[in-house]
Structure formats: C-alpha cells, structure tokens
Structure 1
C-alpha cells in the first residue's frame, strides 16, 4: 500500500522533494500546493520535469485540506517570525494529515503556552502527527551528533558547525531580506530577537538543541545566542545580486544550550558570500566535535552520484532523502508532536528501483 503524499511548495528544496515522491515506488502524489500563479494549474510532473502525473498544482488551501492524504511535506520558505506557518500547519493537522516540516518543529514542546497547546489540539483533532525532517534542522544535530556520543562514558560538550556557501542562491528577496546579506553591520544587532533573520531562526534552533537534549537525557536551563556578522572585504557579485564593500557578507549564527549553568550544546552555522572570514578555506558541510571521554570528531560532506551533472545540489537531494525515509515512521506514529528518532535510514524493502531525484 502506497503512502498518499501532498507536496507543499516547490522552491529549490520543495521541488526536489516533489521529484523524490513522484519517483518513489512506495509513494503516491495526490496533491500539490504552490505559491506562484505561474505554477498554479500546471501538472506536478511538468513542474518537476517528470512525465504527467495527473496531479494539478493549486493555490487553494481548501482544495488541499479536502484531499485524502497520509502526509504533507511542508517546504514553505523561511519567513519571520518563527512560527509564521503555524496557521496552515494547524489546518493540515486538524484535517487528519500528518505533517513533515523541513523548516522547524524539531521539538515544539520546548515552548509553553498557547502555541504549544494549539499544535497539540490540532494533532488530537485530526489524529495526526507533526515532525521535523531535513538536514539541519533534522539530521546533523538531532541524529549524527547525538549518535556520536554513544562511545562516551562522560560528556562535556557537543558542537555542531555547519558551513554553507550562499553565493549560488539566486533569489534576491531571500538573500537580502530573509537572510540579511548586504545590510549595514553597524545598523544590525544580530542578537536582537526582533531582527528579521534572527526572528526566523532563533526559535527553530532552540528547538534543535532541545531535541538533542531530550535524546541525551539533559534538562536545558535556556538557549543563549552569540551571533556575529562580518563585512564584505570588497564589492561582491553573487547570484542574487551585489553586496557593496562593508555590507554583511558572512553571518555566523551561534546558539548555546545551557545545562546546570554550563554550556553543553552549541550549534554554529556559517552562511557566507566570501571566504575572507572563514577559519579555514573549503570547510566541510559539518564539523561535529563531541568533547568527553572519549571525544569524537567528525567531518561530513555530501556528494552527488558520479556522473550527475544536474543543477540539483547534494544538499537538496539530502533533504529529499531525509524526508522520504521519515514518511513511513510518521505515518505509523501515534498522534501528537514527534521528536525525530535517532535513526531514519534508507529502507530497501520500500525503495525498489528508483530513478535520479534531479
């Protein structure tokens, strides 16, 4: 029996997830929600560069809610503040559809109050489950870093460092408004929770550290921020446009999880438009350092299959894989808010013969 899947949004990540679902023998695409008028009314296969599927893209949320589906892959673009997509996710959950998000919801139980209660109520009303999946949030910290502690008899500190070259990102609104590149560093307080990028990310990564702590049996006192921005050393020309010398060209987001008064968990993300402020050239996608007895150091990169010359990146493919491999677990879970399990591996019995996700 196939899992009936709705794809929500078709940006770079969403489109790769859409292809993964269309190609997967254990998945059946039954719905597609899009934001752009240019995509509405088109066959999902046309949007994904696949043969016709018979599924027509829509911008009508009510059409999506009325569909019979097991799960929605929610790939909406980041938008400030964190939680801005709650309204649509609540509707999807209450309509009886499980939801997998690639932009947060790693552990909503980190918060207290009306938002948490609304998510719980929607899951109860629909008999549905909400879970995060993806690379980071999703894989690097909640799974890889936690599993690495399995050799430790004592744990002092875990640091996850992600480095992402943002120069190929083409969308100007996303690069300059959502991510904050090009702004005047003197006019920005990166640790001000009301600054647009920080308001999108702080809640998301507080939940990541909270999910790590849950897996490790740690009680978080709080999550502190220690963000930094760096100015461009020269005028830069990138795929999304131009960054003048002195404008923000590199952001180092840092969240620190405090346990018993000491920093126990650190998430550090470098988004950069030039190499000048990196500690070392050509960093791996992730560096994971578990300090303890014994300590563990991991360096992790993703790569595409040999001969794959498509524009789809290894990271996009990885997000799609992380989502698709999580679908059977989410669909089988008890209703409620689900922290991503320590392992969501590829499952050969479900995969069959798959084509490229590109």
Structure 2
C-alpha cells in the first residue's frame, strides 16, 4: 500500500514536494494545508499543475489533524525566529502523524532539554516520529560531508560552501523580506541575531552543524557567525522586482562551528542576485573542503532530467526526492525525534510500490 501523505504548505519547495507526492507510486496524497486564502478550497492537482486529485486545500488545522495519514511533509516558509513553527509540528506529532521537515530539526537536542522534551512528549503521545530532511540543511553537511570524511584518518576542518543564484525567485515577500535583498547595507548588521533573516537562519544552521558534529563523534563547543552583505554594482531587474544600485544583492552567510581539538565545521552560503562579488561567475552548487589526512575536495551540481521544460528547478526536485526517500525511514522508526540516517539513497522498491 502507498504511504498516506499530507503536504503542509505550497511555496516553491512545498509545491515541488506536492507534485512529487502526486506523481510517485509510493505515495498517496490525503491532505493539503495552505496558508493563503486564495489557495483554500482548490484541488491539490490544480495548485500543483496536475490532474484533479479530489483533495482540497484547507486552512483549517483541525481538518488536517483529523485525517489519517502516515506522514506530513512540513514545508512552511522560514519565519523569524527559528522554531516559530514548533506549535504546528507539536500538534501534528501529538495527533499521531509522523513529520518530515525540510527546514531544520536536524538535531533539536542542540537547544537543550526543554525544547527536546516538548517534541519527545508530542511524539510519545501520538506514537509518532520527527525527522529533518532536505538539501541544506539535511544533505550537504549532515550526509555528504560526513560520508566524505570517511577517508580521513585525521580531520582538522570541514567547510561546506553553497552558491545559489536567486534571480529567478518570484516571490517579493520572500526575496526582500525573508532573504534580505534590496536593503541598505548600512542599515543592517548581518551578524545581529535579531535581524530578521539572521533570526530565521542562525538557529537552523547551528543545528545542522550540531548534527554533523554528533555524526563525527565530536563535541561542538559553540557556533560563531561571520555573515557579510554586498551592494549591487548596478540596478538589477530580477523576477521578484528591482534591486537598486548599492542595495543588498549578495549575502554570504557563514556559520563556524568550533569543535573539540581546535576543529572547525563551517557552512558558508552565497545567495546572490549578481555574480560581481563571487570568486567565479559559475560556481558549483556545493563545494566541500575537508582539511586533514588526506584532505578532500569535492564539487557537486544538480541538473534537471534532459527534456524537462517545467519551471521546477533541479534543487526543488532534489528537495522533493530527499523527502520521498526519507519517508520509509521515519515511518518505520520508533516514536521520538530521530536523526536522519547517514544515507537515504534512492530505493527501487519505492518506485515499484503501489
């Protein structure tokens, strides 16, 4: 039988997950939660540009909680502060539904006993499991970098560098609000934890570094930040609007985990609207730099299947694939908060499942 899935939210990433759930032979869509009034009452297939599913989107959380489902794919948009969606996730877990989040929850124990205890209590009440899964956080550091370290007999540092061209992102609220583009660089301190984008992201990536450290059996002593913003070299016309010359066109997020033995675990993310401030005009999606014995250098890019003319990006397909491949693990796990396994590869049995 197919896994019964509820999709929570239909932003760019959520909509990609929704399409994959509708298309995939291992999953059956049984519910859809949306935040916006314009989507409420519409068939999920219409929202996903698929055929009719008979599943209507709802803004009523109680309707979602009453459904019988194996798993909820939680893809709510980031909002400050990190953890602001805990109440939703606690309710879903307590109602007996496993939850996979694409935005964090790599290692909630990093935040101490109180937060973890609340999540564990909800899991115990519902007999459910919570797992974080996605690309970054989720895959790049917690899986890919950890696996790459397997050839090192000595390890001094790991740096995961992500470079994302944001010019095609269409949502003005997301681009100028959540991501921080278009603001006056002199008016913000990117290392101020209360700045909106930093408030959303700092906790999530500190948690990813905690998960990586735990996977390497290292004690994480603290997480420092060294974020930078860059002004546009000229006026930029992008999908979400216009970025005035001199306003923020590039953000380099940089989290440095200080681990035992003087080791550094680093996640560095470049979100850019122009290439003027990059080391190279065509950086790979990810560069991994492991310093040790031996040192390791890796680059990884994602491309869509040949002939795919849909607007869905390779990164969006990859988030959806990451979630689909995680479903059997979270469904089979005992109740509680679980760490994503070191590997959740493509499973041919899922492709044959019906």
**SS at structure 1 position matched to 2:18:** helix
1:176 aligned to 2:185?
A: no
Residue matched to 2:115? 115
Equivalent residues of 2:145, 2:158 under 8 A apart: yes
What secondary structure does 2:299 align onto?
strand
CA distance in 2, matches of 1:5, 1:309: 27
Q: Could you report, residue by residue, the CA deviation over 1:26-69 in whole angstroms, capped at 9, with x for unpaired residues?
A: 11111010112121111111211222211111110000000011
Asked if the contact 1:221–1:261 (Cα under 8 Å) also holds between the matched residues in 2, the reply is: no
The answer to whether the 8 Å contact 1:161/1:287 transfers is: yes
Aligned twin of 1:307: 307
After superposition, the C-alpha distances for 1:146-189 in whole angstroms (9 at most, x for unaligned) are 00011111111100000001111111111111111111111111
State the SS of the aligned residue for 1:237: strand
Match of 1:57 in 2: 57
Separation of aligned partners in 1, 2:296 and 2:113 = 37
Equivalent in the alignment of 2:18: 18
How do 1:1-358 residues align onto structure 2 when only pairs under 5 Å count?
A: 1-260=1-260, 262-352=262-352
Q: CA deviation at 1:245?
A: 1.2
SS in 2 for 1:330: helix
Superposition deviation, residue 114 in structure 1: 2.9
- Structure 2, unmatched stretches of 5+, are none
Contact 2:213 2:259 in 1 (8 A): no
1:260 deviates by 2.7
Residue 353 of structure 1 and its aligned partner are, at CA, apart by: 8.9
What is the total number of aligned residue pairs between the two structures? 354
Q: How many angstroms does 1:262 deviate by?
A: 2.5
Distance in 2, matches of 1:252 and 1:146, equals 23
> Shift in Å at residue 352 of structure 1?
2.5
Distance 2:179 2:240 in 1: 12
Question: How many angstroms apart in 2 are the aligned matches of 1:44 and 1:259?
Answer: 45
Aligned CA distance change for structure 1 residues 195 and 261 (closer, same or farther; 3 Å): farther
Unmatched segments (≥5 aa) in structure 1: none
**RMSD of aligned Cα (Å):** 1.2
Q: Deviations over 1:49-102 (max 9, x none)?
A: 222211111110000000011100001011111011111111001101010001
Alignment deviations for residues 209-268 of structure 1 (CA, whole Å, 9 cap, x no partner)? 011011100010011111111111111111111111111111000001101362420000
Q: How far apart, CA to CA, are the structure 2 residues paired with 1:207 and 1:260?
A: 17
TM-score, structure 2 normalization = 0.98
Alpha-carbon distance in 1 for matches of 2:340, 2:183: 35
Give the distance between the partners of 1:289 and 1:265, measured in 2 at CA.
10
Q: Distance in 1 between matches of 2:166 and 2:46?
A: 28
Whether contact under 8 Å (1:133, 1:340) holds in the other structure is yes
Contact 1:256 1:263 in 2 (8 A): no
Normalization by structure 1: what TM-score?
0.97
